Amino acid sequence: MPMNEKRCVITGLGLVCAIGNDTDECFESAINGRTGIADVKSFDTSNCYSHKGAEVSKTNEELAKGRYDRTTALGIKAAGEALSDAGIDPESGEASEIGVLLGSCIAGAACVEKYYNAKVNGGKGDIDDLKSMPASVIAGNVADYYKAGGITANIVNACAAGTLSVAMAIDLIRGGKGEIFLAGGCDSFSSLAYAGFHALRALAPSDCSPFNHSDGITLGEGAGILVVESYEHAVKRGAKIYCDVLGSGVSSDAYHITAPRPDGEGQMSVITRAVKNSGLKFTDIDYVNAHGTGTAKNDESEFLSLSTVFKDNKDLSVSSTKSMTGHCLGAAGAIEAVLTVKALKEGKLPPTTGYSEEDLGVLAEKSGDINFIANKPVEKEIKYAMSNSFAFGGNNASIVFAKDPNLLNLTCPKQDLYVTGVGIVSGEYDEEKKSYIAKLDSDTFKAYGVKSAFLRKLDRLSQLQLLSGLKALEDAGVTVTPENESIIGICIGTNDGPMTEIANFQKNIIRDGIDKGSAFAFPNTVYNAAGGYLSIATGIKGYNVTIANGFQSGLQSVCAASGAIMFGYESIMLASGTDECTDIDEEIYSDLGFSGEGGMTLGEGSVTCVIEKDSSASGRGAKRYAKIAGFSSARDTTGDRNNNWRLSEEALTKAISNVLKEGSIEASDVKCIYGFGNGVSELDNFEMDVYKKIFGDNIEVKLVKKDFGEARAASSSLQFAMLAKDIFEGKCENGIAVSYGTSSLYSAVLLTKA
């Protein structure tokens, strides 16, 4: 069986949301039309025009033992059920090879609120709340809780994040990077998200009513997690199998940061990709769990998309379970995926609730041949089901589940991958700030054709990202046109994301009230805004994913981008690492004790590399900096799982060994290492000791952070870019870029002469 046709199956389900505390309870509620929407209890909404939400009744302590932020606690609860359902006992060591891929939109927003409540009111803020704020800790915390030792990643593509996590799991399995993953999403109810959607006037005044009144969303919270596993692995351990997960699709609208394209082009593209990759026809799909948010623009574009793509399907059923669960943001797609798998297994399709008799008449007139299931469930044996998610930033994702295996349409001839463009935006040392700050000016953007009105919408993180992306495209000689816009993709890595925008937005609503959130600022609080703006500015409509997974996120984005090309999704990928250095960042790292006397010197920047398959590069006559000969990520399995920053010789050695094996090269032949040392003696000494054991005393180790500061994800991308440049300029024939991040995850990429 070819690598990319490896059969993937679902062997475990876990779910918690407002309609139930486990999968069976949630599915029973959904089938019976029981809503979890009620008046908000988490905070005061008396000054708001809406007062509805879909909150989980359990406390953090009831969800998970120990102190965790609510998003992570929800993820731990659903992951525990999924593992148990899959017949895996973490205490016996059975989870040691399992990877964890989790989507989130707002991450530790509840901890952001607690931390800045204390700060705004003159206090210091709890250090545990500070540590739990970023998205980069979630998957690692869940993995540590269950002693899971496989690859971890936090996918932060807003409301498409949970669906993207499942899509990435099947790609990693088919790419030989793992056999079994916990994949899904988790997000908590928060004043930040509520205030943001309130400012956008996007909240429904009463219960949300998708494909019906469409007067707004109702926010919810929860977690949905699936055990995604290779068929061979599942059979070997005697696991029960719910269904196959066939294929996925990912696309970008390249239109607007919050609104979907009215013509539904991006949605139709992602549905088409998922169906095609699954080896199916549009007429094969029996049921779609729609994104169905309940806002007028989303419902209109999705209704148009479904009616157009499935125009020849005379037996399609569609529903939106958000009418009961609320919109759970980064968890939404995963929650809906779990409910879709249950519907496929049980032959019972959940309805969209809230239709009056008059509403039903209007629905019947406009729905045509599609059965938009209303109020009551439908009992129907189905073979193929789809779950769709569309998000801020114009990010779209779809996955297809099947009762039986199917011959996939993922044949992609193995090709060499090359670095064909580099765009670097780095910092210069600022004596006053004692950190490395990048210079951004409007004239530079103007030279690339970026209009001032567009630039003003962007926060600093997005500006950094946009500039490095434009520089990389220019360096590669790539012009985005209608002919190639859909075969170019984006993968961005970040450690902190838009933490400055998040903190400032939260502080403002603490001071002024939840009803006083800024509609201008809120879109920039989502982690994937930078990728969305890059897509809009360039017209790139292909694959688009943002990973927040610690300092090594930039290098992990190279791994993910290489995988996207390897599977034939795109011909060209932009792989980036981006983090900023603002007063907020300085304050956060000082409070953590990481910067200052004896600590690291902060920096900022964005580095984008163009990665391209051989046939595309040859067709364009592109220059080739270097060849990607191997890429790998590995995680600690033996250290102190209560320490997010633990070092692991085992994991670092494994990541390096994997790329040496993949590239068919001996350690003695490696000429150069671009390492992750940042001036902190313990980290630097550890790293050098491991390299000497593997490569000997004469290995050349270069540390970019000595000259550009600790720019987290941007630094790890810079390591990769500088190595590619060195090889291109003949300074070395090969080398490895290595980086380290949260929960002891290491990424390594081997580059050789083109």
Give me the active site residues, please. 159, 291, 327
Query: Which residues is 612 bridged to in the sheet?
Result: 418, 572
**Cα–Cα nearest to 54, from 208, 245, 213, 267:** 208
**Cα–Cα nearest to 146, from 747, 746, 635:** 635
Q: Confirm if 216 and 49 have CB atoms less than 8 A apart.
A: no
What's the N-to-C CA distance of the chain in angstroms? 30
Q: State how far the Cα of 603 lies from the Cα of 136, in Å rounded to an integer.
A: 18
Q: State how far the Cα of 683 lies from the Cα of 646, in Å rounded to an integer.
A: 10
| CA distances from residue 148 to 101, 139, 156, 452, 575 in whole angstroms, order as listed | 11, 10, 21, 47, 27
**Cα–Cα nearest to 292, from 315, 263, 258, 318:** 318
- List % helix, strand, coil for the chain (3-state, nearest 5): 40, 20, 35
Q: Confirm if 295 and 214 have CB atoms less than 8 A apart.
A: yes
Query: Which residues is 606 bridged to in the sheet?
Result: 425, 578
Residue with tokens 């920047």: 605
Q: What angle do CA 15, 16, 22 make, to 5 degrees?
A: 65
Q: What is the dihedral of CA 161, 164, 166, 172, to 10 degrees?
A: -130
Please report the sign of the dihedral spanned by the C-alpha atoms of residue 592, residue 593, residue 594, residue 600: positive
Q: State how far the Cα of 661 lies from the Cα of 683, in Å rounded to an integer.
A: 26
